[in-house]
Structure 1
Amino acid sequence: MKTLLSILSITIVFLTASCKNDSKEILKKSPKESNKESFDLVISNANVIDVQSGAITKQTLYINKGMLVETTPEMKTGFHTFTHINVKGAYVLPGFWDNHVHFRGGEQLIAQNEKFLEQYINYGITTVRDAGGDLTTQVQQWNQEIQDGKRIGPTIYTSGPKLDGPKARWEGSLPVSSLEDIVSALDSLQALGTDYVKLYDSTLSRKHYLDIIKAAEKRNMITSGHMPFTVELEEAIDAGLDNVEHLYYVLKGCSSQEKEITQQIIDGKLGFWGSMAQLIDTYDETTAQQTFTRLKANNVFVTPTLHIGDILSYLDEVDHSQDAYLAHLEDAFVKTYEGRVNGALNASAKAKKDRKELQQFFIQLTKSLQDAGVRLLAGSDCGAFNSYTYPGPSLHKELEQLVIAGLTPLQALQTSGYNGSQFLQKEGYGIAIGNQADFVVLAKNPLDDIKNTQSVMHTIKNGRLHTMEE
């Protein structure tokens, strides 16, 4: 796919900006008009998509101080606006959310991570959920600057450092090897003001994993993450886990022999990847439906991350060396891709085949989860070390993968901001009076074809208009 980045650049239209194309009309306030009703931004002739119902209505949107303050079927008269944009029947919907990204790579990659902020806006993404990294202080500073209108970028909800065991895989993780460590780690996250707790499974013990979730639950902290394979999915759900990142752990809970496989892993007789074939072979529809029912009943979300799975499964077949997005990445960032690439290229023929079959199984599993009423989250898992999963376009590819799995375009759209806001318990999502003006304007209807989410004309973030121009 020719990346959107190759044909678009961003023009920031502030409230007093001058007109740059004939679809925009700029009206300037004069002393004689001082008694007129005034708006910062007016968007007229918009086909507004209700992401909850799929209904489309023609509306004019009136924005003041970053908020949607009024809507009318037709543009009214007798008012003043600093900026008016006639979108001529284009489609307006809430800005996209990428519910799984990473800002990481240490001090040497801060500048590169910073550049991604603007890229998210280029692709209509107005909110991201940072799923743990080693740049928490920097990320929180960026987010504050974005909210203050001093920087272009999406709202960033962050977990801060991941919680893992001692000698964890990822830099910046908080090590947990005792109950005292759990108290200290959760105290630290609350002091930082993070939005949720992210658990990882590289060295975290079974006991401490479950204890973290229970302790976070008592503090009313949202939890999300991987799951050590020494834990059964039912145990994690019962402990209070709020979101399962990736489908490996859901697959484990669909096995009729999960308990036996878990014990083999506890005994050191079986490893994570070694258990995959057994889990697929013992997938049981009755057990799966019971697991789906438990997930739904306990309001547990699932983030499938299908796009990165597709990328990693076919690294041995697909050459990404000419991807247009690479031109916008620093050499040091691209170098972080080497580990996964080399691992895929050097894998055995069986391992390559198994990885592809697992990806196809996950696609089917995603549809089963949706059909069972489990709420899914669209997340790309983009960031350093995650090869060729690019910040911005990868969210759109994730939406495509969800439709390939069998979701309707509307259902796929709901997994972005609609479900994302509910998972993080954030109010004010959607195009409604009193809500933050975080919208995206698309040239084509995404309900007809999910690929139309890429036809971004304008992004409105905190009431500011950002226009994509060739």
Structure 2
Amino acid sequence: MNSSMTPKWARIFSQICRRTAGAGALSVLPGLACAAVIIQNVTVVDTLTGDETPNMSIVIEGNLIAAVSPSDKTTGAASDVIIDGSGLFAVPGYNDMHSHALTSGDSATNLRVMLANGVTGYRQMSSAAELLAGFGDKRGVAEGPDLLALSGAILTGGNVRTPEQAVEEIAAQKAAGADFIKILVENPQVFVAALDAAEALEIPIAGHFPPSVSAETAAAHGMDTMEHLGPRESLLLSASSQEDELRTLIANAPPPPPPSAPPTPAFYERLIANPIPSTSPQQFASMFAMADSYDTDKAATLARMLKEHNVWQVPTLIRLRTMNHGDDPHYSEDPNLVFVTDEQRALWQSIAAGFAASLPEGAKVELDRMYDAQMKLTLQMAQEGVPMLAGSDYGGQWLVPGFSLHQEFAELAKAGLTPLQILQMTTLNAGQFLDRDMGQIAAGMAADLVLLSADPLADVANLNQIEGVVESGTYLDRAALDALLVH
């Protein structure tokens, strides 16, 4: 066989080899061994150091990188699949570390659009017993991006009302095969009990923490990841010059009045899509106080504490921004909305129609000021070495799978993070967080790669200049990626 194949045949051949290798097959045709895939003459980006080494070859065997060496010193067999990487930059595949791809919209469409955007792995932040049972040991080997971690059902005030219920539910989810616990509990006693239970059972716990629980308390009780910077004012409270006064107000605030009727499924759909229109006047006041009381010194102390306790942060800035801009035509007229379902678009447009009327006077300006504080905190945490991951929170209003992760890259850059820091959040850091051999281009690492036509360390926008993707050893050229985006 000729050592140089067209991209189409290279893709077909690598897929055949990948599928037969798992069954122990040694060949796909009589006398033809499964070949290595070799990407030649490419510039390899080291996500650990930021070094860029040109004229390198990446040898892929099955779903692993077998070797990385100078192209003039790399030899292959006649049957090897050769991909010309001249003028291209190779980085590890992107990982969306906060997604609801399996439970929002159409999961099959979500996964193919994510892959077309260079996403080769994702962390699923919501689940149910049937979803856990359905995936079983298939994680990481199905077509499309790898399912890297899967939660059980989200812990809320609806399914865990007491500390005892929280302990029982966490034990049940671990027994059912959940990789981690997702928590959105407002009651501080139940919340802390859940953290303690997860730590005792040695299962990671991630999610939101309420303003009634400090970041210091959550960290001390073993919270593993904080999503969305709290969200809202939760993390910012520890960076506020008015922290003591605000915490006193929160502790003494009367409970909200009970709803006049039981919440409907439609209410919860709207709340999940965008909680801002359902925010109480009291919480708006607390949120807006954050915009005026951000304290750089306190934020630095907070960041050092989070680093000391190894509490990972998934800022999802694009989610925070789209929540605050629920009626912004920039999002509502996004042509990429063709990749979400008609039902999702209709819900989001309905929220947009009543968005302005749901906010107090001056709220839009104050929400933007609070977002500025959240961006400042994100930058300070990055500068202090707090471990961080990139996630989009697809499932929320105006977020499109795959594309929203690139929007997250852009927001992180606006916050002041460097292109290398952002690349690390979606590659190297994901591997370190999950303790998996991924996120670097080196022998023994997962064969998940993105080939870019422009230098990703010169401009974060270049992370979107995708010419090819290798997902678990399967090569997809630009034409194949475009085919995934056919609506």
TM-score, normalisation: structure 2 = 0.81
Which one of the candidate residues 126, 130, 155 is aligned to 2:124?
130
Taking only the aligned residue pairs, the percentage that are identical comes to 27
Tell me, yes or no, if the aligned pair for 1:403 and 1:412 is still in contact at 8 Å: yes
Distance 2:9 2:360 in 1: 48
Distance 1:220 1:439 in 2: 32
Distance 1:67 1:323 in 2: 37
User: How far apart are 1:287 and its partner, in Å?
Assistant: 2.4
**Partner letter of residue 90 of structure 1?**
L
Distance 1:243 1:100 in 2: 11
Decide which structure has greater helix share: 2
Q: Secondary structure at the match of 2:428?
A: helix
Tell me, yes or no, if the aligned pair for 1:61 and 1:71 is still in contact at 8 Å: yes
2:455 pairs with 1:445? yes
**Partner letter of residue 246 of structure 1?**
H
* Pairing 1:232-381 to 2, within 5 Å after superposition: 232-247=214-229, 248=232, 249-269=234-254, 271-338=282-349, 340-342=351-353, 344-346=355-357, 347-381=359-393
Q: Secondary structure at the match of 1:426?
A: coil
**Partner letter of residue 211 of structure 1?**
A
Given the superposition, is the C-alpha separation of residues 339 and 234 from structure 1 closer, same or farther in structure 2, using an over 3 Å criterion?
farther
Distance 2:46 2:203 in 1: 30
* Pairing 1:363-442 to 2, within 5 Å after superposition: 363-383=375-395, 386-442=396-452
User: How far apart are 1:140 and its partner, in Å?
Assistant: 6.8
Given the superposition, is the C-alpha separation of residues 245 and 465 from structure 1 closer, same or farther in structure 2, using an over 3 Å criterion?
same
Give the total of aligned pairs.
431
Given the superposition, is the C-alpha separation of residues 94 and 447 from structure 1 closer, same or farther in structure 2, using an over 3 Å criterion?
same
**Partner letter of residue 414 of structure 1?**
Q
User: How far apart are 1:338 and its partner, in Å?
Assistant: 4.2
The aligned residue for residue 41 of structure 1 is 37
Which one of the candidate residues 52, 56, 61 is aligned to 1:59?
56
- Structure 1 gap ranges (5+): 1-9, 19-27, 167-174
Given the superposition, is the C-alpha separation of residues 428 and 315 from structure 1 closer, same or farther in structure 2, using an over 3 Å criterion?
closer
User: How far apart are 1:40 and its partner, in Å?
Assistant: 3.1
The aligned residue for residue 87 of structure 2 is 89
Distance 1:371 1:327 in 2: 38
Distance 2:108 2:459 in 1: 31
User: How far apart are 1:431 and its partner, in Å?
Assistant: 1.3
Tell me, yes or no, if the aligned pair for 1:103 and 1:139 is still in contact at 8 Å: no
Distance 1:402 1:16 in 2: 35
User: How far apart are 1:227 and its partner, in Å?
Assistant: 0.8
- Structure 2 gap ranges (5+): 1-7, 17-26, 255-280, 483-487
User: How far apart are 1:82 and its partner, in Å?
Assistant: 4.6
Cα deviation code 1:98-157 (max 9, x no counterpart): 111114657xx4xx12211111110011111112245x64477468557445x2333341
Tell me, yes or no, if the aligned pair for 1:231 and 1:262 is still in contact at 8 Å: no
Q: Secondary structure at the match of 1:337?
A: helix
Distance 2:60 2:102 in 1: 35
Cα deviation code 1:40-66 (max 9, x no counterpart): 311111111011111111321111121
Given the superposition, is the C-alpha separation of residues 62 and 319 from structure 1 closer, same or farther in structure 2, using an over 3 Å criterion?
closer
Which one of the candidate residues 87, 90, 102 is aligned to 2:100?
102
The aligned residue for residue 212 of structure 1 is 194
Given the superposition, is the C-alpha separation of residues 160 and 467 from structure 1 closer, same or farther in structure 2, using an over 3 Å criterion?
farther
Distance 1:229 1:326 in 2: 34
* Pairing 1:177-216 to 2, within 5 Å after superposition: 177-201=161-185, 204-216=186-198
Q: Secondary structure at the match of 1:39?
A: coil
Tell me, yes or no, if the aligned pair for 2:291 and 2:369 is still in contact at 8 Å: no
Q: Secondary structure at the match of 2:235?
A: helix
User: How far apart are 1:342 and its partner, in Å?
Assistant: 4.0
Q: Secondary structure at the match of 2:404?
A: helix
User: How far apart are 1:179 and its partner, in Å?
Assistant: 3.1
**Partner letter of residue 402 of structure 2?**
G
Which one of the candidate residues 104, 109, 113 is aligned to 1:115?
109
Tell me, yes or no, if the aligned pair for 1:377 and 1:419 is still in contact at 8 Å: yes
Q: Secondary structure at the match of 2:401?
A: coil
Distance 2:211 2:432 in 1: 28
Tell me, yes or no, if the aligned pair for 1:11 and 1:468 is still in contact at 8 Å: no
Q: Secondary structure at the match of 2:478?
A: strand
**Partner letter of residue 85 of structure 1?**
I
User: How far apart are 1:165 and its partner, in Å?
Assistant: 1.2
Distance 2:225 2:331 in 1: 31
Distance 1:438 1:194 in 2: 24
Q: Secondary structure at the match of 2:285?
A: helix
User: How far apart are 1:240 and its partner, in Å?
Assistant: 1.2
User: How far apart are 1:29 and its partner, in Å?
Assistant: 9.3
Extract structure 1 runs of 4+ deviating beyond 6 A.
Answer: 28-34
